Amino acid sequence: MRKLNQFVLLLVGILMVNVAPAQKAETPEQTYDLGSSINEMTLTVGGILVAATNEGLVGIDPKQNTPVFTFNNFGKLKPEETDFIPASPYIVVSQGADSKFAGLTKTKRAVINYITGKTIFNSETDNWNQIYTCNIVLPQNKLIISGIQKEGDKFEKMTPKVAVYDLSTQKLDYSFFLDKPGRVGLAKDFSVTGVPLLLKEILIIPTAQGLIAKKHNGDDLWECKIKGVNWMVADKTEKEIYGFETTVNGKNTRIHKIGSNGAELWKDDRKVQGNVSNFQILPQGIAVVSDKSSGGSSSVFATSDESEIAFLSASTGEDLWQKSPKTKGYVQHFYVQDDGILFGIQQGGINKISFDGKTLFKKPLKTGANIMVMAESPQGLIYITGEDANIVDLKTGDQVWNKPLKYKNSAAVASTFDSAKNRYLIAADGDVYAIDANSGDVTEFAKVKFDEKEVANTMQMRNGNIFLSASQNVALLDSDGNQVYHEYYKSPSQSGFVKVLSGALAVASTGLAMAHAAKAGMNRTNSYGSSNDLGNYNDYGKENKRASDMFASIGDAAFDVMSKRFKATAATENAQFILTKLDAGVGLVKVNKDTGKVDKEIVLKDKKPEYQVDEVAGILYYKANDKTIYAYNLQK
């Protein structure tokens, strides 16, 4: 299924391991017989498990004895026909949309609210014969459909139409035709070319004939001849609108600017090389990050694999920077601050440019590759890469620590701040370092050797102690670096074993991440904080609070459920869930973070278990057989 990574593990257990005695819990709290073969299981950001079967989709809420919904209207669905909308309780189901005959044959769409279990929209019941586009708009909580609806007279039944539905009430707000039904003359292509832009007063539809603006009752406002726009975003006043159009070869992007009255505000559009991956609208203009790709070509004439950063004038569209900053790689971090733009490169390097194009750092900062952390601290900008870490002055780029902390290139780096000792703690490649926050002095704090050649990817302060973990290992150090415990739970099979990722947390981050630049635009114009704001180090709750506030503001029952979920304390706050080989077979153990001991174990009785763990609610979903799912409460 698109949008969400699947955390389904196929494991072969051949090794044995002894674990401390623990509570057996092999009887599930809930059993769901779906009556059809289960093909995939997806844990949603809202905490509902969605199973794809040979007959359709089934939603499971562990608090209910029966499925929250069953959608079999379209039969068995291909993975690409199911679209989980990020940061929402919605699934869009499509059939025929990707067919090469999509414009000629019937296409079907449906929108499901997986929390309430309701099918909000079904093209079959609303007489839509062809669906061109189907877009959910948040936070307005609207659904915008374009296509051919088999209603009205013979001319209306063949004229492209747009309809706007309210997702909370499940009712049609308004609809309108993109062309006059029965118009005499040459046929015109009014296909919708991109994502509509819904503003407070108007709706703008990008079409092959240009932009069409309507009032919220469907009445005409204006038309603009800018054709082929793929997505749009407005500034906070909604008086200035930027339209983004991918060029025919798909390698570059044209940017247009229009007013809320449809007037073109730039004399000419502006082309940036590559596809836009990030942007920020500012009073001076629009800062744009675009990614170029060689497409795998080794030719000396091939495009470089790197990002470009441009700053286009609000009034003319001209690049305000005479010389674009060199990136020599892809922009991994992009933050807008009061005095300029701060960015970090995936291949290594950090720099800061003023809004008039001057370099604010005395010289570009050299760093290791893969900048995992860039955040603000009381001492300055802290960065942590796969090879080094340091704090630098945010104004000048000068080092705050005497020299960077360097370590072997590590597959994972974990860090935290010990407020009681006023020090940073960083774990990399088996070594734990302590860095005094005031002096920057570095000491080797401890060595932690994990089995199966794992390295710590999580570090957490717990009552003055330091907890570290990986997929199969957990350890606790005291405040002096002495080992309190180290426990190892052998993986069921080391051969070809895929390490368990945090399913619920990964899904949550997927839901909040930018699916593409069109959706990213909403994050940059709402009142809950921009994703281009530099965060504070160790402020784990910031994104969750931002998401919770956003969900709560929508004023819909399903979003209220999601808001409460993001406010809740995760089940992993005091426990770690690990898949391992138990005496009775492969199973999942719940390990106490303070003691390292097993509080609970569940034997899955399957050499190749397929399962999902909701680490927020503490629920284990296990595919017991071809048609049955068990749900276990890991909190008990």
Q: Record the tokens describing residue 615, joined without a space.
A: 């680490």
Exposed e or buried b for every residue in 53-84, given b needs 16+ CB within 10 A? bbbbbbbbbbeeeebbbbbebbeebeeebbbb
pLDDT the model gives residue 304: 76
Q: How far apart are CA 318 and CA 312, in angstroms?
A: 5
Q: Which residues pair with 41 in a beta bridge?
A: 51
Read off the tokens for 631.
């749900």
Report the distance separating Cα 268 and Cα 260, nearest Å: 18
Arithmetic mean of pLDDT over the chain: 85
Check residues 223 and 532 and name the one with the higher pLDDT: 223
Place of tokens 């935290």: 416
Structure-token match 């093209």, residue found: 123
Q: Is the pLDDT of residue 8 over 60?
A: no
**What is the model's pTM?**
0.84
Mind giving me the DSSP string for 173-197?
EEEEESS-TT--SS-----B-S--E
On the question of pLDDT at 429 being above 70, the answer is yes
Torsion angle of the four alpha carbons 416, 419, 424, 430, in this order, in degrees rounded to the nearest 10: -50
Please, are residues 278 and 513 in contact by the beta-carbon 8 Å criterion?
Answer: no
| pLDDT tens-digit map of 227-242 | 999 999 999 999 999 9
**pLDDT higher than threshold 90 for residue 76:** yes
Model pLDDT for residues 250-295, shown as the tens digit of each residue = 889 999 999 999 999 999 999 999 999 999 999 999 999 999 988 7
Which one-letter amino acid corresponds to residue 9? L
Per-residue model confidence (pLDDT) at position 526: 39
Interacting residues of 451 by C-beta distance below 8 A, sequence separation 6+: 472, 473, 488, 490
* Cα→Cα distances 110→68, 94, 124, Å: 17, 7, 8
How much is the pLDDT for 14? 22
> Please, which pLDDT band fits residue 439 given cuts at 50, 70 and 90?
confident
For the segment 59-76, the average pLDDT, to the nearest whole number, is: 96
User: Is it the case that residue 513 has pLDDT exceeding 50?
Assistant: no
- Is the pLDDT at 532 greater than 80? The verdict is no
Q: DSSP labels for 420-483?
A: TTTEEEEEETTEEEEEETTT--EEEEEE---GGG----EEEEETTEEEEE-SSEEEEE-TTS-E
Residue 500 above 50 pLDDT?
A: no
pLDDT digits (tens, 9 = 90+) for 400-421: 988 889 998 888 999 999 999 9
H or E segment and range at residue 561? helix 557-567
Q: Is the peptide bond before 139 cis (omega within 30 degrees of 0)?
A: yes
Who wins on pLDDT, 496 or 200?
200
Give yes or no for residue 510 having a pLDDT over 70: no
pLDDT at 295: 72
> What local confidence, expressed as pLDDT, does residue 562 receive?
84
Tell how strand 619-625 and strand 628-633 pair up: antiparallel
What's the rounded Cα separation, in Å, for the pair 95 and 215?
Answer: 31
Q: Reduced to 3 states, what is the DSSP secondary structure of residue 522?
A: helix
Contact 272, 252 (CB under 8 A): yes
Rounded (to 5) percent helix, strand, coil in the chain = 10, 45, 50
* Conformational region of residue 297, where left means phi above 0, alpha means psi within -120 to 50, and beta covers everything else: beta
Cβ–Cβ under 8 Å, residues 309 and 324: yes
Count of beta carbons in the 10 Å neighbourhood of residue 30: 18
pLDDT digit string, tens, across residues 360-384: 999 999 999 999 999 998 899 999 9
- Position 105 scores a pLDDT of 55
User: Could you tell me which of 92, 93, 95, 99 has the C-alpha nearest to residue 107?
Assistant: 95
C-beta atoms surrounding 496 within 10 Å: 8
Amino acid occupying residue 372: M
167 pLDDT exceeds 50?
Answer: yes
Q: Which residues contact 1 (CB under 8 A, 6 or more apart)?
A: 40, 42, 52, 79, 82, 83, 84
If you ran DSSP here, which 8-state letter would residue 321 be given? -
Residue 630, pLDDT above cutoff 90: yes
CA dihedral 502, 508, 512, 516 (to 10 degrees): 60
Band of pLDDT at residue 531, cut at 50, 70 and 90: low
Neighbours of 119 (CB within 10 A): 17
Per-residue pLDDT for 156 more than 70?
Answer: yes
Q: How confident is the model at residue 40 (pLDDT cuts 50, 70, 90)?
A: very high
- Among 432-441, 488-497, 531-540, the range with the most confident prediction by mean pLDDT is 432-441
Whether 3 shows a pLDDT value over 60: the answer reads no
- pLDDT at position 498 over 50: no
**pLDDT band per the 50, 70, 90 thresholds, residue 590:** very high
The predicted model gives 179-186 an average pLDDT of 81
Q: Specify the DSSP class assigned to residue 79.
A: G
pLDDT-derived band at 554 (thresholds 50, 70, 90) equals: confident
In this predicted model, what pLDDT tens digit does every residue of 96-143 receive, in sequence order?
766 444 444 578 999 999 999 999 999 999 999 999 999 999 999 999
- The type of residue at 482 is N
* pLDDT value at 92 more than 70: yes
d(CA 335, CA 351): 11
- Predicted local distance difference test score (pLDDT) of residue 541: 61
